[in-house]
Amino acid sequence: MVSALRASIKKTGSPFLRSAVSARLLSTASKQPTLKERLAELIPVAQEKVKAARHEHGKKSFGPVIVDQLYGGMRGLPALIGKARSWTRVSLHIIIVAFASDGFGDVEEGIRFRGKTIPEIQGQLPKAPGGSEPLPEGLFWLLVTGEIPTYEQVADLSKDWAARAAIPEFVEEVLDRCPPTLHPMSQFSLAVTALNHNSAFAKAYAEGVSKKEYWGPTFEDSMDLIAKLPNIAGRIYRNVYGRGKLPPIDAQKDYSHNLAALLGFGDNPAFVELMRLYITIHSDHEGGNTLPSYAAALNGLAGPLHGLANQEVLVWLTKMQAKIGEDASDEAVKEYVWSTLKGGQVVPGYGHAVLRKTDPRYVAQREFALKHLPNDKLFKLVGQIYNIVPGILLEAGKAKNPWPNVDAHSGALLTYYGLTEMQYYTVLFGVSRAFGVTAQLIWDRALGAPLERPKSYSTDAINKIFKGKN
């Protein structure tokens, strides 16, 4: 092992790789590598595999494109490597390292993280002492390396993030000056954008860092970003909803526990467990330049067409309860669902752009609810709808996938524990999805992934191309 590491040092001229690998050599035999040290070992191997794959297969055709895919948001189109929400790259291993983010290896098979299903990661990732849900720190390690970490490695990552958690004073002032009427997600994006002031990548780029070394400062920015998000999210929550001053970050606690405490729920062990599960199953997106691109992604989550899905579900559920009662019969629920469809509306929380089965993230939340809040009225309604809505949607012909997605359940869980401010829910999305974004970005920079510039066509151009053709 030592000789291999020495060869790795000799082989690369990168100071980021040299420092990480040298640190590995200096560590004792019993000490396990840090996340950055392990990356330094994995990246050269991945670079060679990509180089070999391009050399052997670079000129081969990869798949047909039909016009419906162009109009349908490129769903199912095999057009990208290691970018976007890569449901192909994780489970199908297009690049041998796989990558971060959620992987829909098959529309029927469901979501996988680095080839592992949600039940698998729940069983295999380290847990807090006495806890039953996976620690998001472990998921991040898995996303970045493709490996299941030890508890020691996860605990060290928790401490590292706690040490990086403080946000600059000027960012605190920016948030404190925001009016409470400014949407929490807009404040969240504003704060993340401001963090770019101290970007390690921006500094290294200005100093002329080599492309081969981009991954190093990107890693540092990613670690800083994830670490600071709980303080940002907590400050926004307390400012907007008048919940008082923030408590300090506890370096002895894990990431989710600190987030729960900053929101004012740290004394509730079940809510802490919910945050561990929530962050783990929602960490599924990707971006470009770490801080500005992540802020842009947050803006994409802030509107009603995408980011407010679980809020819409909760509004629909509460309206239903108000009209037909908390303990309504199946027939009353069916009638309400049909009235929703006949009124030209959709049943929120049902259907998925890719999956053709029940979202496994929904299943994970349902199992959590069965364990922690089996008699809650709202949860019972969610379960009742789960048994009723798919049949109605199939009968109505309204959906290719009549099954619930992740948003059909999360609002009911947060409401049960007292986090009832629905406009804030997308901020929790944002905290969670930093894990997938940053894990992917590190590998983008390590492998020199370019910006995508696909060619686009107008409808007139499509008609011209196919004129006179069957």
Does any domain span residue 29? Answer: yes
Does any domain span residue 449? Answer: yes
Catalytic residue among 197, 250, 306, 330: 306
Catalytic residue among 102, 224, 254, 407: 407
Range 178-181 contact pairs with CB under 8 angstroms and sequence separation of 24 or more: 178/236, 178/239, 180/239, 180/240, 180/241
CA 331 → CA 154, 170, 343, distances in Å? 49, 56, 18
**CB–CB of 388/334 below 8 Å?**
yes
Closest CA relative to residue 131, chosen from 166, 101, 162, 158: 158
The pLDDT of residue 263? 97
- Whether residues 245 and 393 fall in one domain: yes
Give the CATH number of the domain where residue 217 resides.
Answer: 1.10.580.10
Q: How far apart are CA 47 and CA 29, in angstroms?
A: 27
Q: Over the range 190-222, which residues count as b (16 or more CB within 10 Å of their CB) and which as e?
A: bbbbbbbeebbbbebeeeebeebbbbbbbbbbb
- Whether residues 146 and 283 fall in one domain: yes
Which residue, of 32, 61, 90, is where some domain finishes?
61
Q: Over the range 90-120, which residues count as b (16 or more CB within 10 Å of their CB) and which as e?
A: bbbbbbebbbbbbbbbbbebbbbbbebbbee
Task: Tell me if residue 106 is catalytic.
Answer: no
Does any domain span residue 171? Answer: yes
Q: Which domain holds residue 353?
A: 121-453
Does any domain span residue 74? Answer: no
Q: Where do we find the tokens 């052997």?
A: 56
Number of domains within the chain: 2
- Whether residues 435 and 367 fall in one domain: yes
The pLDDT of residue 24? 44
The pLDDT of residue 91? 27
Contacting residues for 153 by C-beta, under 8 A, at least 6 apart = 32, 33, 34, 35, 141
- Whether residues 292 and 424 fall in one domain: yes
Taking only Cα atoms into account, the Rg of the chain, rounded to an integer number of angstroms, comes to 23
CA–chain centroid gap for 42, Å, is 23
- Whether residues 239 and 375 fall in one domain: yes
The pLDDT of residue 129? 96
Strand 116-117 to strand 110-113: parallel, antiparallel, or no bridges (unpaired)? antiparallel
446 φ, ψ (degrees, to nearest 5): -65, -35
- Whether residues 139 and 39 fall in one domain: no
CA 212 → CA 14, 206, 325, distances in Å? 7, 15, 62
Catalytic residue among 282, 352, 372, 409: 352
How are strands ordered across the β-sheet holding 110-113?
102-106, 110-113, 116-117
Which residue, of 45, 61, 77, is where some domain finishes?
61
Q: How far apart are CA 83 and CA 301, in angstroms?
A: 18
Q: How far apart are CA 309 and CA 349, in angstroms?
A: 7
Contacting residues for 33 by C-beta, under 8 A, at least 6 apart = 24, 27, 41, 153
Task: Tell me if residue 285 is catalytic.
Answer: no
Q: How far apart are CA 33 and CA 37, in angstroms?
A: 6
Q: How far apart are CA 105 and CA 83, in angstroms?
A: 15
- Whether residues 444 and 310 fall in one domain: yes
Closest CA relative to residue 118, chosen from 97, 90, 92: 90
pLDDT values of the chain reduced to their tens digit, one per residue, 470 residues: 334 434 443 444 444 444 444 444 444 457 899 999 999 999 999 999 889 888 888 888 877 888 888 888 777 777 766 543 332 233 222 222 333 333 434 455 567 888 899 999 999 999 999 999 999 999 999 999 999 999 999 999 999 999 999 999 999 999 999 999 999 999 999 999 999 999 999 999 999 999 999 999 999 999 999 999 999 999 999 999 988 899 999 999 999 999 999 999 999 999 999 999 999 999 864 444 568 778 877 877 765 555 678 888 999 999 999 999 999 999 999 999 999 999 999 899 998 766 778 899 999 999 999 999 999 999 999 999 999 999 999 999 867 789 999 999 999 999 999 999 998 998 998 999 899 888 988 998 998 887 777 788 888 988 998 888 87
- Whether residues 285 and 418 fall in one domain: yes
* 3-class state of residue 104 by DSSP: strand
Does any domain span residue 78? Answer: no
Question: Which amino acid appears at position 310 of this protein?
Answer: N
**CB–CB of 311/411 below 8 Å?**
yes
Q: How far apart are CA 209 and CA 206, in angstroms?
A: 8
Query: 110: which strand partners?
Result: 106
The pLDDT of residue 83? 41
**CB–CB of 254/129 below 8 Å?**
no
CA 403 → CA 226, 257, 317, 459, distances in Å? 32, 32, 17, 32
Ranges of H-type helices in 81-117: 89-92
- Whether residues 303 and 197 fall in one domain: yes
* 316 half-sphere exposure, CB direction, 13 A CA radius: 25
Task: Tell me if residue 102 is catalytic.
Answer: no
Q: How far apart are CA 435 and CA 279, in angstroms?
A: 8
Q: How far apart are CA 9 and CA 41, in angstroms?
A: 10
The pLDDT of residue 87? 28
Does any domain span residue 238? Answer: yes
- Whether residues 296 and 399 fall in one domain: yes
H-run or E-run covering 113: strand 110-113
Does any domain span residue 102? Answer: no
- Whether residues 303 and 429 fall in one domain: yes
Report the 10 Å Cβ neighbour count for 179. 8
Does any domain span residue 86? Answer: no
- Whether residues 17 and 137 fall in one domain: no
Q: How far apart are CA 200 and CA 209, in angstroms?
A: 11
Report the 10 Å Cβ neighbour count for 302. 20
Residue 101 is given by DSSP the state S
The pLDDT of residue 82? 55
